Amino acid sequence: MPPLPDHLGPTRDYIAGDGGLLITGLLEAADQALREGEGMRSCEIAIDTLDGLGSPQEVFAAAQGLPDAAGAEIAVRHASALTTFLGTCVTQDTVPAPDELTFTSTILRRRLDALE
């Protein structure tokens, strides 16, 4: 993982605020989408969660806005993977392979843990 920023204060403040809620919401939505055994319903639940969080612009802006630049890149990458996963689910009526979304979820979770 890339080195942590020299000054963690702004990043920690951000994560503790509204921006952090949106980013952790992205992780929650991914967990819901990846839940096994629920088929297409898992994607619907994840989309409901995202709609409850905010608009796509708000959520992507929150990911991009993380003061830790590496963390921001990871969060945007995860948001992109989640978008593609759900888009495939909605348009093709099938739950896609979980590999990439599992990977980005893991990396983002590790980064947030490291920033605590």
Partner 1 sequence: MIWRLARRCSALLAGPVLLVLIYAQMSAALPAQAQPPERSIAWLTLGDSYGAGEGASGATGHCQRSLNAAGPKAATILSEEAGWTISPQTFAACTGAYAADIFSSRSELTRADYEIYGQAVGAYPEGAEIQNDESLYDWVGTEGSPSQRFDVIVTSFGGNDVGFADVVAGCTDIMRALVRAGGAVGGSVASPWTDFVTDVVTDRAADRIDEEGCGPVAQELEGRVAELLNEPRMPAAGDSPRRGSAGNLVDFYRTVADDLLAEDGVVVVLGYPRLTTPSETWGRWRGDRCNMLSGEDADRLGSAAEEFDRRLEDAIESIDARFEYVSRLVIFDDGGNYHSLCGRGVEWLNTPLLFLRDGTGRYQRGFHPNDLGYLATAEAVAGVVQDRLGVALQPPPSSDPQPTTTPAPVRSSEPHFDVGEEFDAECTIAWPTAPARGIDSIQMRTFCPSVPDQFLFVDVVYGDPDLDVSPSRATMRVRGTIVDVVRSEYGFTVLAVEAQEIDLR
Hey, what are 90's tokens? 């909605």
Closest CB 20 distance from partner 1, rounded Å: 20
Question: What does the binding site for partner 1 look like in residue numbers (CB under 8 A)?
Answer: 1-3, 47-48, 50-51, 55-57, 60, 69-70, 73-74, 77, 80, 83-84, 86-91, 99-100, 103-104, 107
Judge contact between 115 and 11, C-beta under 8 A: yes
Residue 22 to residue 40: CA distance in whole angstroms: 23
Residue 95 to residue 12: CA distance in whole angstroms: 35
Q: What string of DSSP letters covers 26-37? A: HHHHHHHHH-TT
Q: Which is nearer to partner 1, 1 or 16 (CB)?
A: 1
Hey, what are 111's tokens? 């980064």
Closest CB 58 distance from partner 1, rounded Å: 10
Q: Which is nearer to partner 1, 15 or 82 (CB)?
A: 82
Q: Which is nearer to partner 1, 21 or 70 (CB)?
A: 70
Closest CB 66 distance from partner 1, rounded Å: 12
Strand, coil or helix: what is 66?
A: coil
Q: Which is nearer to partner 1, 24 or 80 (CB)?
A: 80
Amino acid identity of 9?
G
